[in-house]
Structures are given as structure tokens and as C-alpha cells.
């Protein structure tokens, strides 16, 4: 799965999310958007240790 697919699903879920969880959901969306912007398309398959060098 890619960030793009996950973001699309999260934005749809946000419509039905409880108001008490919106802040957390927005945070996750922001994290995935930043990863996408930084060129990390599949974070679960990325070796982040090698990126910090």
C-alpha cells in the first residue's frame, strides 16, 4: 500500500470519525502527507536508518 491510498482512505474515514478522535486522525494524515512530500512512498518498506546518514 502506498501513502496515497492510505491518505485517501483516512480522509474518507475522517467523515465518520468521532469528534474526540479527529485530532489524532489529523496527526496521522499530516505525518503521511509529510512522508509523501519527502519522497517516501512506502514507509513500511523504507529503511529510515539509511536515510539519516
pTM of the model: 0.80
The pLDDT of residue 50 is 80
Contact 37, 4 (CB under 8 A): no
Per-residue pLDDT of the chain (53 residues; tens, 9 = 90+): 888 999 999 999 999 999 999 999 999 999 999 999 999 888 888 888 887 65
Greatest pairwise CA separation for the chain in angstroms: 41
The pLDDT of residue 52 is 65
- Say how far apart CA 6 and CA 43 lie, in whole Å: 11
Amino acid at each position: 500500500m502506498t501513502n496515497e491510498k492510505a491518505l485517501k482512505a483516512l480522509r474518507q474515514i475522517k467523515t465518520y470519525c468521532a469528534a474526540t478522535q479527529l485530532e489524532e486522525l489529523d496527526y496521522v494524515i499530516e505525518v503521511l502527507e509529510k512522508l509523501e512530500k519527502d519522497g517516501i512512498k512506502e514507509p513500511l518498506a523504507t529503511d529510515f536508518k539509511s536515510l539519516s546518514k
